[in-house]
Amino acid sequence: MAVSVLAIDQGTSGTKAIVVEPDGRVIASSECEVRPDYRGAGAVEQDPRELLESVLTAGRRAVEEAGTRIDVVALANQGETVLAWDPATGKPLTPAIGWQDRRSESVCRRLAEHKDEIAARTGLVLSPYFSAPKMAWLRENLTRDGVVTTSDSWLVHQLTGEFVTDVTTASRSLVLDLDAVQWDEGLMSVFGLADEQMPRLVACDEVVGSTSAFGTDTPVSGLVVDQQAALLAEGCIDVGSSKCTYGTGAFMLANTGADATRSHAGLTTSVAWRTREGTQYCLDGQAYTVASALRWLVDLGLLADAHDLGEAAGATSDGVVFVPALAGLAAPYWRADALASFTGLSLATTRASLVRAVVEGIAAQVAVLAGVFAHDLGQPISRLRVDGGLAQSAVLMQAQADLLQVPVEVYSSPHATALGAAALGSLGVTPRFGLADVTWPWTPAAVYRPRWTAERAGDLLTRWRAAAEADLPEVAP
Question: Whole-angstrom Cα distance, residue 98 to residue 16?
Answer: 18
Q: Which candidate, 359, 357, 361, places its Cα nearest to that of 309? A: 359
**2-24 per-position pLDDT tens digit:** 799 999 999 988 999 999 998 88
| Nearest to 12, CA basis, from 342, 220, 203, 248 | 248
Q: How confident is the model at residue 66 (pLDDT cuts 50, 70, 90)?
A: very high
pLDDT of 473: 77
What are the contacts of 255-264 at 24+ separation with CB within 8 A?
A: 255/231, 255/280, 255/281, 255/282, 256/280, 256/281, 256/282, 256/283, 256/377, 257/281, 260/123, 260/178, 260/179, 261/376, 262/119, 262/120, 262/123, 263/123, 263/372, 263/376, 264/375, 264/376
Under the banding of pLDDT at 50, 70 and 90, the label for residue 98 is very high
Q: What is the pLDDT of residue 422?
A: 97
* Mean predicted lDDT score pLDDT of the chain: 94
Residue-level pLDDT at 31: 97
57 burial level (CB within 10 Å; 0-12, 13-18, 19+): middle
**Residue 195, pLDDT above cutoff 80:** yes
Output DSSP code: residue 423.
H
Q: Is 210 helix (H, G, I), strand (E, B) or coil?
A: strand
Distance CA 431, CA 276 (A): 9
Residue 475 pLDDT:
53
In this prediction the pTM is: 0.90
Q: What are phi and psi of 435, to 5 degrees?
A: -55, -40
Question: Could you tell me the CA-to-CA distances from 264 to 5, 270, 283 in Å, in that order?
Answer: 39, 15, 11
Q: Domains along the chain?
A: 5-234 (3.30.420.40), 250-410+445-470 (3.30.420.40)
Check whether 461 has a pLDDT greater than 70.
Answer: yes
Distance CA 85, CA 181 (A): 25
395-451 pLDDT, tens digit each: 999 999 999 999 999 999 999 999 999 999 999 999 888 888 888 889 999 999 999
Q: Provide the pLDDT for residue 438.
A: 86
What count of Cα atoms within 13 Å lies in the side-chain half-sphere of residue 121? 19
Q: In terms of Cα–Cα distance, which of 422, 398, 423 is closest to 410? A: 398
Residue 260, classified by CB atoms within 10 Å of its CB into exposed (0-12), middle (13-18) or buried (19+), is buried
pLDDT above 70 covers a percentage of the chain that reads: 99
209-240 pLDDT, tens digit each: 999 999 999 999 999 999 999 999 999 998 88
Q: Which residues contact 203 (CB under 8 A, 6 or more apart)?
A: 166, 167, 274, 275, 276
Residue 476 has pLDDT above 60, yes or no: no
- Sign (positive or negative) of CA dihedral 190, 225, 2, 73: positive
pLDDT tens per residue, range 260-281: 989 988 999 999 999 999 999 9
pLDDT at 477 (0 to 100): 42
Starting from the edge strand earliest in sequence, which strands make up the sheet with 96-97, in order? 37-40, 43-46, 96-97, 82-85, 147-150
> How far is Cα 415 from Cα 335, in angstroms, rounded to an integer?
31
pLDDT reported for residue 436: 87
Amino acid at 49: R
Classify burial at 428, counting beta carbons within 10 Å of its beta carbon; exposed 0-12, middle 13-18, buried 19 or more.
buried
250 touches 362 (CB < 8 A): yes
What is the pairing mode between strands 147-150 and 26-33?
Answer: unpaired
Mean pLDDT of 191-215: 98
